[in-house]
Amino acid sequence: MIRRDLHEANRLSWNEATKAHNSHKAGQAEYFRNGGNKLFPEEMELLGDVAGKDLVHLQCNAGQDSLSLVRLGAHVTGVDISDEAIAFARQLSADSGLPATFVRSDVFDWFREAGTAGQSFDLAFSSYGAIGWLSDLSEWAKGIAGVLRPGGRFVLVEFHPFAFTLDDDGKGVVTYPYASSEPLTWDDGVGDYVAASGPALAPSGFLEGVKDFRNPFACHEYAWSMADVVTALLVAGLRIEAFREYLYANGWKPFPGMRELPGRRTAMPEGMPQVPLMFAVAARKV
């Protein structure tokens, strides 16, 4: 069931967090004007050559990855629920000279509106902390299938659900549910993970920015298992063409003491089991 009430609460929480996140990122427009690309190799490998293709970036946040895809030649539409994120993305697009279309919408509403308008795409893309905010994976997958052209592909690169079961202090104790049909509510809202991760999430340059961020709006997430994700895509009629798991995280530092790896990556601390921190799925509409 789509819980638009929870989505609306999350919109408020993301509006506040997005301001803090971008306060830590220096010279973003200049970074893109100078040829910057914020994408990691994992998504680029699965997306393949995007030049000349129509691509929708679902839950695009403040548009930095969307504009990286424009840099690679795609015609990009970015969709996000946060007013602050979309306003920032539109301004960054104008300031960087990388044209993209950004739409402020709950992704479920956008699927309906895109279908009514007859919009379709060669590629759909979503990444990094996206699916936990979705209240209905079945409708999400159907929406993706509905906006893809025949032969079109969907690529998801996401943090692994097992990583979210572990305690916050990095001791590796399973604390939170791996899967849950009920939302998990966090009274402290969306946090400032950019401040916690540092330069890995700010390739244009890291600034101290907002200090000791406190979000006044609670947020609500869902714990979706790997089976939930894959099954939703299959039931929607998409054919799985690739599945990956990674023993590291791109950009994000989920726990204290994470080992820093080349390429803006982190892995579990020394002396702890090396567990999957990301996964990726590529699926095609047949």
d(CA 60, CA 80): 6
Q: Which amino acid is at 9?
A: A
pLDDT < 70 positions in the chain? none
Tens-digit pLDDT profile for residues 181-234: 899 999 999 999 999 898 989 999 999 999 999 999 999 999 999 999 999 999
**Taking Cα atoms as reference points, which of 10, 234, 212 lies closest to residue 129?**
10
* Predicted local distance difference test score (pLDDT) of residue 214: 97
pTM of the predicted protein model: 0.95
Angle CA(59)–CA(2)–CA(57) in degrees, nearest 5? 15
- Given a contact cutoff of 8 angstroms between Cβ atoms, the answer to whether 78 and 89 are in contact is yes
- CATH class name, domain 4-285: alpha beta
* Predicted local distance difference test score (pLDDT) of residue 255: 87
- Given a contact cutoff of 8 angstroms between Cβ atoms, the answer to whether 279 and 243 are in contact is yes
Domain ranges of the chain: 4-285
- Given a contact cutoff of 8 angstroms between Cβ atoms, the answer to whether 71 and 46 are in contact is no
- Given a contact cutoff of 8 angstroms between Cβ atoms, the answer to whether 135 and 2 are in contact is yes
